[in-house]
Amino acid sequence: MPVINVETRAVHVQELNKGAAETVLLVHGMFSNLSIYYFNIAPILAKHFHVVMYDLKSHGMSEKIADGYDLNSMTDDLSALLDQLELSSVHLAGYSFGGLISLKMAARFPDKVKKLAVIEAPDPNDDKTRDIIDEYSREFLEYYVQNFADTTKSKMGKRQMEKNHRMYEYLFHETSIKSDMIRERDFFSAAEIDGISQETLLLYGASSNCLDAGKQLKKKIKRVELMEVDGDHNVPIQQPVSIGNLMETFFKN
């Protein structure tokens, strides 16, 4: 398994079509991992691009880290990863929390980001995500899994339930993730969002409760297009081929 050291931390990285001229780097969301792209979306992009996926800290197969979940730290991590992989600039795409990291990356490191695709990035000022942390319990996870299964058709067994429970417990109670998220409350109203100059594609589920966040971003980013895809917040799982094809067209043209 390709786990590399980036500034002393172990990071799980997967790459496809390494010889291609241009790179697309994919950032997954919170409580998820790179597999959200690996089987469907990444192979579509890899027809034309070198594709890089990585697991965020404490996610997937990357090392557990107690702090640094604010967007500055997360983009420092990503910038260091690019340096480690000797990639001077990439097309960047991020889903959910990964979408926020991608927006921040485009704002902080404009020379490292060519085009930007943002999938279902939520407004950090929306209390729903933080409420999840406050109300977290095993019962909540079981309810969430049931609801998740309805929209993704995936069922979680006992071992997976335990594994996910341990991850949530770690992130919620042993890391700074909650306080770091609170610090990002005003990210959408920050001037740096207005300053994003890269051509940007916003992809949102037509029935997603994050769609309003996409509409907010559309008003603020200069060179932007918002596209609605049939589905909700889980749209990369529900419509991976559509999401992959839309990004492929966007990054190619």
Residues that bind another protein (CB under 8 A): 1-2, 14-16, 33-36, 38-40, 43, 55, 60-61, 152-160, 163, 237
Phi/psi of residue 66, each to 5°?
-75, -25
Q: How many CB atoms lie within 10 A of CB 3?
A: 12
Q: Strand (E) positions, 2-98?
A: 3-6, 9-16, 23-27, 50-54, 90-95
Min dist. Cβ of residue 18 to another protein (A): 9
Q: Which of 96, 84, 78 is nearest to 25 (CA)?
A: 78
Min dist. Cβ of residue 33 to another protein (A): 5
Give the helix/strand (H/E) hosting 226.
Answer: strand 224-229
Min dist. Cβ of residue 217 to another protein (A): 28
Min dist. Cβ of residue 40 to another protein (A): 6
CA of 132: how far to CAs of 7, 65, 85, 118, 127, in Å? Answer: 31, 21, 35, 23, 9
Residue 98 has which token pair?
Answer: 């990964």
Residue 240 has which token pair?
Answer: 């991976």
Q: Please say which residue, 24 or 107, places its beta carbon nearer to another protein.
A: 24
Q: Please say which residue, 46 or 106, places its beta carbon nearer to another protein.
A: 46
Residue 99 has which token pair?
Answer: 């979408």
Q: Please say which residue, 134 or 158, places its beta carbon nearer to another protein.
A: 158
Q: Please say which residue, 43 or 68, places its beta carbon nearer to another protein.
A: 43
- DSSP annotation of 187: G
Q: Please say which residue, 33 or 102, places its beta carbon nearer to another protein.
A: 33
Min dist. Cβ of residue 159 to another protein (A): 5
Q: Please say which residue, 59 or 115, places its beta carbon nearer to another protein.
A: 59
Residue 161 has which token pair?
Answer: 């339930």
Q: Please say which residue, 55 or 199, places its beta carbon nearer to another protein.
A: 55
Strand order in the sheet with 9-16: 3-6, 9-16, 50-54, 23-27, 90-95, 113-119, 200-205, 224-229
Min dist. Cβ of residue 60 to another protein (A): 5
Phi-psi sector, 172: left (phi>0), alpha (psi -120 to 50), beta? alpha
Min dist. Cβ of residue 49 to another protein (A): 15
